[in-house]
């Protein structure tokens, strides 16, 4: 008898140690074997989590083998909850008959009970209860054997739960990884699709992220730039850029904004608006900074055009009100100076004063005409024009000034320059005005030179007028096309010349751009689009 029990006991140990046996199959088989080993009428396996019952299995052999499963059993209200919570085995061979257990429908006449709590480490897993020994009473040996088997089953149940939880965690991890990868791809697509340059740097100025727009500007890929210092990779300098604002974001936690002008090879330039923002970690400490670089060249041009239009509208209102009032007395002044010149031609002193009055009157009349030209919308007559001849006529009009001021004029016309559709008088006025300004800027220069070139480039006809004069301060460059704004000394300019030039070029569908550096000189670049050009004849 003892040998038979030992054999079944050994079989139970070996079977519980099999990792590939499903938990439910193991539990049912285990209960059946317990009934055989301990010769009991009933066997109850209670498995639960600390907060709620997981499963209750009842198996009995009288009058025939029957299974009963009770879900969501409230074990804490049961009489045997105390020994289970205290993790102590329970043996009682003197139970009162006719007790109801687990379910009102299940009535058991109890004579003897053997209970073994199931626990592992700090977790209570449930309990095994054997009811009614078929041949008498449960013994202390039975209690000891059930304790050993309970320990093996507890370990198995605990490991099965760990394995199940690991599977769930792995499944959740795979889902999270997939979601993370999907989110990363979406963010990368957004990062690369935003029509502005973006990159992120850490506190050592290493690039931790950069979008395609910024990488394409230097003909590189984001992977090639990742990890490099921003000033070396993007600006090709050995040290931090002098006007860098990223420092304020990285070490001061500030949002910054600045503008930067980038010169291009064809005498053009780009205007960039650069913003920096700090990136904080969970402790609200700055760890990185994001840099946004947006091309605002067209925006600045439109803003300038809008401001110009508003000022021209104001000039128009002013001109309309003043032209009539000023022209009448000016006409009288000029006419009377001409009469006085005829009568007093022999008096040199008087003639000099009269001449000064006449020139002043003519200059005032020219200012009024300029105002009217600015104010009214003239109808431009466009006709095929030889740009080379038009420039040559402008040179002849300023030839006297060039000789008087000892200025060398160099003209380099482009080969095969086509005729253009233009208003010849208006364009000639543009060349004369710019050349006159160049002559004035060369007063204090020793080697005085003006260089004019023409060419066809990027679907445009370009005229470039350069001088090596005193230059224009950077802070004034954005205002030189404003009406009445001048950099000349008082009494030497009206501030309308370049405004008229700007208006004329815009009427031709072109652009006028200026670059200047103090002590080096000024470059005016005028571009006329090809849709205004006819084939050369």
Buried b (16+ CB within 10 A) or exposed e, 7-25: eebeebeebbeeeebeeee
Is domain 383-532 classified as CATH 3.30.565.10?
Answer: yes
What are the extents of the domains in the chain?
2-166, 195-295, 300-375, 383-532
* d(C-alpha 133, C-alpha 372), whole Å: 123
Q: Do domains 300-375 and 383-532 have the same CATH topology?
A: no
- Name beta bridge partners: 127: 46, 117
Report the CATH architecture of 300-375.
Orthogonal Bundle (1.10)
**Region of poorest pLDDT, from 65-69, 101-105, 247-251:** 101-105
Per-residue pLDDT at 1: 43
Q: Give the tokens for residue 296.
A: 């605002």
What is the tally of helices (H) and strands (E) in the chain? Answer: 15, 20
Higher per-residue confidence, 332 vs 204: 204
Question: Could you report the per-residue pLDDT of 478-497, keeping only the tens digit for each?
Answer: 777 776 666 655 545 556 67
Is domain 195-295 classified as CATH 3.40.50.620?
Answer: no
Class of domain 2-166: alpha beta
Question: Could you report the per-residue pLDDT of 35-46, keeping only the tens digit for each?
Answer: 888 888 888 878
* d(C-alpha 56, C-alpha 493), whole Å: 104
Per-residue pLDDT at 480: 76
Nearest Cα residue to 260 out of 241, 247, 278 = 241
Per-residue pLDDT at 21: 43
Examine the pLDDT at 49 and tell me if it is beyond 80.
no
Question: Could you report the per-residue pLDDT of 328-368, keeping only the tens digit for each?
Answer: 787 778 778 877 777 776 677 777 777 778 777 776 776 66
**pLDDT range class, residue 9, cuts 50, 70, 90:** low
Q: Give the tokens for residue 18.
A: 């099999």
Question: Could you report the per-residue pLDDT of 17-30, keeping only the tens digit for each?
Answer: 554 445 556 677 77
Rounded mean pLDDT of 521-529? 88
Examine the pLDDT at 299 and tell me if it is beyond 70.
yes
* d(C-alpha 461, C-alpha 414), whole Å: 10
How much of the chain exceeds pLDDT 70, in percent? 76
**pLDDT range class, residue 464, cuts 50, 70, 90:** very high
Q: Give the tokens for residue 101.
A: 């257990």
The pTM (predicted TM-score) of the whole model is 0.42
Per-residue pLDDT at 295: 86
Question: Could you report the per-residue pLDDT of 414-453, keeping only the tens digit for each?
Answer: 887 888 888 887 888 888 888 888 888 887 777 888 999 9
Nearest Cα residue to 80 out of 97, 69, 92, 70 = 92
**pLDDT range class, residue 109, cuts 50, 70, 90:** confident
The vertex-196 CA angle with 195 and 200, nearest 5°, equals: 130
Examine the pLDDT at 191 and tell me if it is beyond 50.
yes
Q: How far apart are the first and last CA of the chain?
A: 125
* d(C-alpha 47, C-alpha 82), whole Å: 15
């Amino acid at each position: 008898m003892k040998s038979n029990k030992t054999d079944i006991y050994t079989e139970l140990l070996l079977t519980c140690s099999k990792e590939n046996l499903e938990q439910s199959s193991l539990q049912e088989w285990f209960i059946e074997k317990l009934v055989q080993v301990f010769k009991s009428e009933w066997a109850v396996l209670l498995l639960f989590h600390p907060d709620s019952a997981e499963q209750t299995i009842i198996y009995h052999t009288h009058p025939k083998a029957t299974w009963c499963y009770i879900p969501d059993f409230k074990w804490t209200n049961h009489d045997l909850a105390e020994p289970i919570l205290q993790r102590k085995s329970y043996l009682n061979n003197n139970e009162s008959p006719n007790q109801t257990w687990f379910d009102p429908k299940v009535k058991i006449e109890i004579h003897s009970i053997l209970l073994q709590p199931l626990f592992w480490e700090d977790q209570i897993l449930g309990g095994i209860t054997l009811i009614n020994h078929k041949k008498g009473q449960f013994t202390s040996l039975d209690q000891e054997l059930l304790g050993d088997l309970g320990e093996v089953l507890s370990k198995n149940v605990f490991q099965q739960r760990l394995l199940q939880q690991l599977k769930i965690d792995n499944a959740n991890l795979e889902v999270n990884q997939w979601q993370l990868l999907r989110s990363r791809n979406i963010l990368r697509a957004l990062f690369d699709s935003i029509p502005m340059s973006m990159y992120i740097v850490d506190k050592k100025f290493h690039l931790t992220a950069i979008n395609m727009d910024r990488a394409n500007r230097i003909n590189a890929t984001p992977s090639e730039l990742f990890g490099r210092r921003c000033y070396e990779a993007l600006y090709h300098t050995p040290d931090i850029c002098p006007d860098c604002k990223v420092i304020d974001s990285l070490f001061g936690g500030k949002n910054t904004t600045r503008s930067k002008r980038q010169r291009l090879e064809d005498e053009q330039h780009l205007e960039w608006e650069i913003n920096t923002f700090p990136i904080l970690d969970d402790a609200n400490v700055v760890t990185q900074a994001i840099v946004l670089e947006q091309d605002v060249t067209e925006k600045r041009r439109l803003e300038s055009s809008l401001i110009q239009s508003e000022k021209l509208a104001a000039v128009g209102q002013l001109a309309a009100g003043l032209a009539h009032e000023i022209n009448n007395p000016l006409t009288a002044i000029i006419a009377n100076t001409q009469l006085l010149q005829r009568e007093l031609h022999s008096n040199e002193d008087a003639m000099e004063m009269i001449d000064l009055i006449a020139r002043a009157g003519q200059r005032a009349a020219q200012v009024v005409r300029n105002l009217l030209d600015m104010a009214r919308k003239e109808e431009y007559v466009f006709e095929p024009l030889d740009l080379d001849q038009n420039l040559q006529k402008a040179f002849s009009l300023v030839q006297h000034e060039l000789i008087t001021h000892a200025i060398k004029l160099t003209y380099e016309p482009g080969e095969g320059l086509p005729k253009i559709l233009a208003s010849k008088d208006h364009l000639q006025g543009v060349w004369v005005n710019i050349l006159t300004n160049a002559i004035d800027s060369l007063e204090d220069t020793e080697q005085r030179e003006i260089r004019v070139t023409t060419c066809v480039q990027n679907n445009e006809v370009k005229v470039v007028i350069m001088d090596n004069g005193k230059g224009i301060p950077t802070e004034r460059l954005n205002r030189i096309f404003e009406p009445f704004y001048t950099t000349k000394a008082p009494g030497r300019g009206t501030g309308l010349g370049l405004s008229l030039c700007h208006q004329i070029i815009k009427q031709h569908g072109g652009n006028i751009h200026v670059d200047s550096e103090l002590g080096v000189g000024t470059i005016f670049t005028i571009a006329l689009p090809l849709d205004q050009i006819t084939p050369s004849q």
